[in-house]
Every structure is written in structure tokens, then in C-alpha cells.
Chains A and B, each alone.
Chain A
Amino acid sequence: MLLAFRCAFASERIAATAIEANEFPQLSQELGVWAVPRIVVDGEPRWDGAVPEPEFLRRLLAA
């Protein structure tokens, strides 16, 4: 989660929100959240699980 926040603080182009899945079950269901962390970019689920910073950036910028 912290990596997403770091990206947002570093770039005005990025907004990062952590969403507590249990508190918002309807939204979590809509986005098929069965594993965490689930990363969603521009409303589209992209990947599950923590990855190292270089891979995180690669996936984020490829989204």
C-alpha cells in the first residue's frame, strides 16, 4: 500500500486510495476482490499481491 502512496506523493499525475475491503463489501464484490492487496487502475482490476518497486512501476505504467 505504501508504495502506491509514495507514487502519488511523487507525481501529481497519480492519485492513490487505499480501500478497506471489509468496510465496502459491495464495491469489493463488484471488483472481484478475493485476495489482497488487489490493485485497480482507473477502475480496472490489474493484479493481486505485493510486488517489488520496479515491477510495481512497470505494471502501473503499462496499465
Chain B
Amino acid sequence: MREWFAALERPVELLVGLGPEATPRAGSRDVDFGAEMVRVCEGLAELGENVTCRVEQEPEGFPRFPAVSILPDGRDAGVRYDGLPWGYELGSLVGAIVEAGREEPTLRPDSLAALGELDRDLALDVFVTPT
């Protein structure tokens, strides 16, 4: 991960939002999700100079907590992870950081062309689990 983060072409900020948390499914009630989120994101920020972490209480635009917004160059790109990205999902957060740190997107040219034709806003939610 240090090599990936060292290759980032622009800074990436992780904005961690903490606040009132939902009651998770049974079996995970003893986990302090907010504290774990801070630990994970601060740990990632220690792996590269271009990755930083900021923690705020109930930042604007965060409907659920804990959550982390991935900000390329400090800009809100509409990319957020709600809940603790643990297990295999840690890879999704790391991948988002790497993508955010690129000057050019890695989608196929035909995908970029199709997105360029988009004439309305779309909110895409992807439900995931750690396994």
C-alpha cells in the first residue's frame, strides 16, 4: 500500500464523519465503530504523504455514521463509505484512495464517453458486507 500511495498524483483527504450510530445487527454490538473508523483512516494516512485524515462531528451531507468521504484534492467528488470498511471491504476504500489520487480516471474510453452523455444526476448506493 505504501507503494500505491507513494504513486498518487494528487493529494487525497479522508474526511471521517462521526455521530449518532444505528444499532447494528446482533453480534457486533461490542464494536466501537466510530473509534475503529478513525483508527483505520488514520492508519491509512500514515502510509503515504499524499493521504491525510480529518475527523469531524456530523459533517454536512453525511446521513449515517460513522462514514468516510474520499476527497481528491480536498474536493467533494460524491464518494463516501458509510460504515466501517473492514474485511474485504478495506480493499474498496484503498482502491478509492488510489483512484482519487489519479489525475485521469481508469474507466474504459467507451464508459467515459457514455458518462459524458449523462444529462441528469444519479445517486448510486451499493450495499456491501465485510465478507
A, B in one complex: yes
With A13-B118, A16-B79, A40-B125 known as contacts, the answer to whether A5 contacts B28 (CB < 8 A) is no
Contact A16 B118 (CB under 8 A): no
Q: Is the beta-carbon distance between B127 and A53 smaller than 8 angstroms?
A: no
Q: Cβ of A2 and Cβ of B99 under 8 Å apart?
A: yes
Taking the closest CB of chain A, its distance from the CB of B38, in whole angstroms, is 15
Proximity bits, A1-43, B CB within 8 Å = 1, else 0? 1101111111111111111111111111001010011111111
The interface of chain B, by Cβ under 8 A from chain A, is 21-25, 28, 33, 64, 70, 72, 77-85, 89, 91-92, 95-96, 99-100, 105-108, 110-112, 114-116, 118, 120-130
Cβ proximity bits A29-63 to B, threshold 8 Å, 1 near / 0 not = 00101001111111100000000011001001101
Residue of B108, B115, B127 ringed by the most chain A CB atoms within 10 A: B127
* CB within 8 Å for A20 and B85 given contacts A15-B121, A57-B115: yes
A9 and B130 alpha carbons, distance in the complex (Å): 23
Are A10 and B115 closer than 8 Å at their CB atoms?
yes
Alpha-carbon gap, A19 to B24, bound state (A): 12
With contacts A16-B79, A23-B24 taken as known, whether A9 is within 8 angstroms of B72 at the C-beta atoms is yes
- Interfacial chain B residues near A40, Cβ < 8 Å: 124-127
Instruction: Check if A20 sits within 8 Å of B129, measured CB to CB.
Output: yes
Cα A57 to Cα B114 with chains together (Å): 8
A23–B105 Cα distance when bound, in Å, is 30
How far does the alpha carbon of A27 sit from the alpha carbon of B114 in the complex, in Å?
31
CB distance from A57 to the nearest CB of B (A): 5
